[in-house]
Structure 1
Amino acid sequence: MAKSLLIISRQAPWAGPSAREALDIALAGGAFDLPLGMLFLDDGVFQLDDGQQPATLQQKNLAANLQALPMFGVDELFACGHSLAERGLDAGSLALPVEVLDDAALAALIARFDQVVTL
């Protein structure tokens, strides 16, 4: 049986290639039916902001990649509640439905997966 993988995305979509790389890993893993989840933490929660305007920063929009996650079997999507609150984001207005976790639930989530990749 394949080992489960948790991808932790900690970078804002405009802060470099890490956000796109995390999504690419998730999509590739999902295409091969790898059991995986994705956690948006720290500035990574900005990827979930539905009101992004990446063209103003001459960046590509990650919205299509985010919307493709469930189609590739990546259904376990999580966000840190503390990170959302610190950045003024409301869980009800995000681009994707995610399970919002508190600090205790974050620790349990990380422990549940066999392997963890942080980008």
Structure 2
Amino acid sequence: MSDSDRDLTELAAKAIGEEVEWLPSQKVFYRKSCDWPQEKGFFAPLHNDGEALGLVMKLDMTVNCNRDELTVIVQTRRPKLLKAVRSNNCDADVRRTIVEVAAMNGRLIK
């Protein structure tokens, strides 16, 4: 995982109040705390559809994907944040766009 991907993932976790710890030997983030015991484990929204969907739900995001035009639009309601991208690999680009918008939210938290 690149440093920029690590930063995005850490900020996305911060946006939803998730405490994560980077495990350099395994090159993954591990959840330090969570509401549900079954959620303990790794936090990888850039690679896991379920983790990305969790960000969407917890941050009240709207996601639009148009596979015909290969575009992804993600926005939040409060605060109003928006990102739109042209996509080559729709699944990976949807996850990345969700994480990037979540990271924008995380940057706003002091």
TM-score for the superposition, normalised by structure 1: 0.29
Higher strand share: 2
